[in-house]
Amino acid sequence: MGEVLGKEEEAQKLLSDFNEKITAAKKLLEEKEITSKTFSLMEGGNGSVWVFGDKWGRGGDLLYSHLGLKAPDIIQEEIIGKDQYRDVSMEVIGDYAGDYIIYSGELGDLEGNPVWESLPAVKSGNVIYIDYALFFNIDIFSTDVQLNYIMNQFAER
């Protein structure tokens, strides 16, 4: 876009600044020993839970592509680089749940659900609730705001 608009220098600076923030974020995550953990992106409630990959919003591009965080194997094998999302039942949700769950939407009927409550990420308080609208897009401006939000959540833990 910078080339098309004749703003190559501004675009290069924007990318450079963003990459510096990503590098600093990775360092903080390493210091907090978070990089060895797995992450799931979920949304739903009221009868369904969706699991997302790396290119369908909900922070997937930021977490998996830019920060290099890992998804549980089943998400890596079945969703990332493929369909990008899947509706999962409560019977198998544990297979898709990482050490951390990034969750958008209302909990709805998940609140108090014994299967949901038994997930290790839920039991240990490792669910980060996000605003669907904030985490929908994957452009550089949206991703920068998402990075700030996620890193603030980790800084508080």
The CATH number linked to 85 is 3.40.50.1980
Average of per-residue pLDDT across 1-30: 90
Average of per-residue pLDDT across 72-98: 94
Inform me whether the pLDDT recorded for 81 exceeds 70. Answer: yes
Residue 82 lies inside a defined structural domain of this protein: yes
Domain that holds residue 99: 8-155
| Pairwise CA distance, residues 95 & 74, whole Å | 7
Residue 96 lies inside a defined structural domain of this protein: yes
Q: Model's pTM, two decimal places?
A: 0.90
Residue 1 lies inside a defined structural domain of this protein: no
Tell me the pLDDT band of 80, cut-offs 50, 70 and 90: very high
Residue 83 lies inside a defined structural domain of this protein: yes
How many domains in the chain? Answer: 1
Residue 2 lies inside a defined structural domain of this protein: no
Sign, CA dihedral 33-37-41-44, equals negative
Residue 81 lies inside a defined structural domain of this protein: yes
Q: What is the pLDDT of residues 92-147, one digit of tens each?
A: 999 999 999 999 988 888 988 999 999 999 999 999 999 988 998 888 999 999 99
| Pairwise CA distance, residues 39 & 96, whole Å | 9
